[in-house]
């Protein structure tokens, strides 16, 4: 099999005989009704390929769709004038870059349809082009916009400024105003439009470009379109069975084990209350192509806008994952440092892990191991001001896998000692305690993202252990104290029966009492008991 890695043009995939997961039935279904549609999906999830598929479909290119689902559904194969815009190819950090991009497209379309600009306003020019195209072809127009939000994301929270009409304003505000005015054409030129489709990572609400047109339909959380991007379990089984067998042979593992690791590493995305499991297509295709199971999606680069947002946020990741939200709290984007959840969710670093229909609440958490390990590594690097904390976590994981708690202690202490003093500075006891708790939380989450099972605040019959790490051969029960003897923590483990759930477990069980010093930021006392 040949995999279309980095290829986003539908025609190139079909003509090249590359693997294509057939999404055309959903393309047909969505295109039946006139309207303005918006789809949010994380980067590298196939949005550009979907836009390209719409393009060739509305151009009537039946030859490209032979044998696909849409070939049996579509009878007419009408050809419409298609206007495609891709904002992904430019850098919008410089003032005027967005205006230049829009002008480039408008000039090209005006030349194509013989339109002399009667206005300097981009929205007005676009409306005139759409009207002329409708007149010349006798068909209403199709507008496809890929990565509509990139001109705003590039400059989000950068502080860069632009001057327009003698007035200085933030570039993110300027770009949003420009796009808002440009997209208002969808309302102005409604009679000349057959279908409008926009993709992006975020849905900018409240301060939104969407307020420029009030008839947009957001399908991002519609269960009907859960699988329009990404790869479902059924598609994995039907389209990649031979690929899975080849990968299993390469890795010298049973197919079922490779499938399990695939699920842990690349599955777990849910985009609606339908809770359909979706695999990351970029990671999946790269894994099959390379014959390996690496962190492909995260290695392809973390978005700079997200890193900037997290650096300015006061919220710790432990406060925002594994808890419930109303849809308005994460589905709509609001550009505030104090509320990073919408951006984290829409960027694909959190996903829906549960839905309470009675209360209309959603539980958010990491989709899979690949995302968790990469995201936590970024957070830890920023929080600890230490390079590559994931390397430390990997060494600590190995110590636990080999039943060496004392080696784990040494590695943990060395890591804590490498954290700059400025990170440990705070105002009073509560600040020290919060810093200590979050530091340990991040470290243990990093260890857990390396495929072990990590429980924080795991309940027993008499209380909750601070942390439990389960490896294939060992179980470690941790209890932490700050500026108090380790003996207190060990007594608590025994008194509250934290080890009781593992009484009949075949694995070796260790109770570890760890005391941290707020003064040094390192381990001050340590006890280990084999249960």
CB atoms closer than 10 angstroms to residue 111: 10
* pLDDT number for residue 511: 96
* pLDDT number for residue 47: 96
Secondary structure, 3-state, 6-69: CCCCHHHHHHCCCCCCCCHHHHHHHHCCCEEEEEECCCCCCHHHHHHHHHHHHCCCHHHHCCCH
| Predicted confidence (pLDDT) per residue in 206-256, tens digit | 445 565 555 678 899 999 999 999 999 999 999 999 999 999 999 999 999
Please give the angle made by the CA atoms of 510, 447 and 424, to the nearest 5 degrees: 100
**CATH class, range 385-530:** alpha beta
Question: Is residue 300 pLDDT above 90, yes or no?
Answer: no
* pLDDT number for residue 206: 41
Beta-bridge partners for 355: 362
CB atoms closer than 10 angstroms to residue 196: 25
* pLDDT number for residue 382: 74
Question: Is residue 184 pLDDT above 90, yes or no?
Answer: no
Question: Is residue 507 pLDDT above 80, yes or no?
Answer: yes
CA distance linking residue 115 with residue 111, whole number of Å: 6
| Mean per-residue pLDDT of the chain | 88
CA distance linking residue 130 with residue 186, whole number of Å: 10
Of the pLDDT bands very low, low, confident and very high (cuts 50, 70, 90), residue 454 is low
* pLDDT number for residue 15: 97
CB 123 within 8 A of CB 131: no
Range(s) for CATH 3.40.1350 in the chain?
A: 385-530
CA distance linking residue 423 with residue 345, whole number of Å: 27
Of the pLDDT bands very low, low, confident and very high (cuts 50, 70, 90), residue 379 is confident
Range(s) for CATH 3.40.50 in the chain?
A: 10-225
| Predicted confidence (pLDDT) per residue in 418-453, tens digit | 877 665 555 444 456 667 777 788 888 887 755 556
Q: In the chain, pLDDT over 70 holds for what percent of residues?
A: 88
* pLDDT number for residue 311: 67
411 token code pair:
């590695």
| Predicted confidence (pLDDT) per residue in 135-180, tens digit | 999 999 999 999 998 998 888 878 899 887 788 999 988 998 898 8
CA distance linking residue 165 with residue 295, whole number of Å: 47
Q: What are phi and psi of 323, to 5 degrees?
A: -125, 170
Q: Which CATH number fits domain 10-225: 3.30.390, 3.40.50, 1.10.3470, 2.40.50?
A: 3.40.50
When comparing pLDDT for 185 and 310, which is higher? 185
Residue bearing tokens 């408008």: 106
Lowest-pLDDT range of 216-220, 398-402, 436-440, 511-515: 436-440
Lowest-pLDDT range of 133-137, 186-190, 388-392: 388-392
pTM of the model: 0.88
The mean pLDDT of 475-496, rounded to a whole number, is: 93
* pLDDT number for residue 431: 57
Give the single-character DSSP code of 5: T
Length of the chain: 531
């Amino acid at each position: 099999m040949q995999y279309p890695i980095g290829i986003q043009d539908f025609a190139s995939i079909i003509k090249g005989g590359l693997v294509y997961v057939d999404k055309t039935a959903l393309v047909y279904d969505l295109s039946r009704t006139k309207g303005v549609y918006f789809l949010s999906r994380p980067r590298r999830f196939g949005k550009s390929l979907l836009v390209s598929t719409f393009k060739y479909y509305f151009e009537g290119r039946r030859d490209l769709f032979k044998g696909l689902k849409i070939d049996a559904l579509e009878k007419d194969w009408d050809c419409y004038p298609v206007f495609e815009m891709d904002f992904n190819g430019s850098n919008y950090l410089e003032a005027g870059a967005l205006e230049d991009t829009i002008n480039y497209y408008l000039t090209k379309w005006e030349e194509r349809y013989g339109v002399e600009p009667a206005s300097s306003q981009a929205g007005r020019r676009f409306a005139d082009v759409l009207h002329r195209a409708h007149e010349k072809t006798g068909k209403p127009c199709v507008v496809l916009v890929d990565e509509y939000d990139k001109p705003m994301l590039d400059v989000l929270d950068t502080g860069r400024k632009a001057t327009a009409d003698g007035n200085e304003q933030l570039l993110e505000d300027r770009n949003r105003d420009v796009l808002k005015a440009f997209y208002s054409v969808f309302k102005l030129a409604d009679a000349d439009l057959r279908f409008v489709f926009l993709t992006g990572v975020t849905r900018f609400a409240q301060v939104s470009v969407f307020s420029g047109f009030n008839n947009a339909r957001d399908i991002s959380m519609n269960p009907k379109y859960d699988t329009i991007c990404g790869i479902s379990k059924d598609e994995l089984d039907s389209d990649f069975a031979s690929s899975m067998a080849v990968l299993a042979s390469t890795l010298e593992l049973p197919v079922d084990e490779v499938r399990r690791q695939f699920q842990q590493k690349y599955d777990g995305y849910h985009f609606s209350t339908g809770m359909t499991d979706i695999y990351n297509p970029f990671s999946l295709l790269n894994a099959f192509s390379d014959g390996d199971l690496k962190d492909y999606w995260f290695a392809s680069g973390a978005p700079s806008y997200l890193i900037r947002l997290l650096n300015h946020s006061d919220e710790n990741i432990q406060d925002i994952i594994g808890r419930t939200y109303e849809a308005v709290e994460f589905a709509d984007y609001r550009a505030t440092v104090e509320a990073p959840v919408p951006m984290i969710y829409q960027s694909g670093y959190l996903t829906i892990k549960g839905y309470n229909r009675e209360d209309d609440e959603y539980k958010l958490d990491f989709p899979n191991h690949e995302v968790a390990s990469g995201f936590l590594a970024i957070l830890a690097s920023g929080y600890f001001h230490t390079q590559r904390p994931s390397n430390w976590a990997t060494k600590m994981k190995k110590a636990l896998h080999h039943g060496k708690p004392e080696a784990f202690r040494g590695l943990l202490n060395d890591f804590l000692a490498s954290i700059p003093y400025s990170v440990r500075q705070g105002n009073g006891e509560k600040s020290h305690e919060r810093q200590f708790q979050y530091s340990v939380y991040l470290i243990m989450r990093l260890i857990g993202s390396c495929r072990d099972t990590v429980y924080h605040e795991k309940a027993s019959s008499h209380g909750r252990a601070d942390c439990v790490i389960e490896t294939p051969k060992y179980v470690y029960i941790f209890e932490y104290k700050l500026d108090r003897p380790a003996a207190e923590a060990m007594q608590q483990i025994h008194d509250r029966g934290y080890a009781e759930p593992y009484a009949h477990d075949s694995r070796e069980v260790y109770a570890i009492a760890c005391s941290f010093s707020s003064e040094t930021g390192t381990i001050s006392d340590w006890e280990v008991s084999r249960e």
